Homo-oligomer: A and B are copies of this chain.
């Protein structure tokens, strides 16, 4: 694969990869219903704040979320709504997976 092509796919894969983690996908899902501060997300996820913060950093670096510091809190929100389409497609994949399973059982 030519180098500029490889770079192109590295950049794009990086964006997708940032959502390829259960906690981060949960965050995206949660932010689809509005902005949330780190403390709210931490409460919902039930992990260490530092862990949540790092996941948010990964999503921010990818460009999936943006942060808004207000007072001592930091509110995160989605930068681009289209990431929600991922969920629909993932459901299609799951559906296709199931019908394949059915076929194999007969």
In the complex, the answer to whether A25 meets B45 with C-beta atoms within 8 Å is: no
A40 to chain B, nearest CB (A): 13
Flag whether A71 is at the interface (Cβ < 8 A).
no
Interface of A is mostly: helix
* Contacting residues of chain A (11-33) with chain B, CB-CB under 8 angstroms: 11-26, 29
A9 touches which of B13, B29, B83 (Cβ 8 Å): B29
Q: Indicate if the CB atoms of B26 and A1 lie closer than 8 Å.
A: yes
Question: Contact between A23 and B45 (Cβ–Cβ < 8 Å)?
Answer: no
Report whether A63 and B93 are in contact in the complex, using a CB–CB cutoff of 8 Å.
yes
Contact of A80 among B17, B62, B92 (CB under 8 A): B92
From A10, A12, A66, A80, residue with most partner B Cβ within 10 Å: A12
Complex contact B6–A86 (CB within 8 A) = no
**Contacts known (A82-B92, A94-B63); A21 close to B26, Cβ less than 8 A:** no
The reply to whether the CB of A39 lies closer than 8 angstroms to some CB of chain B is no
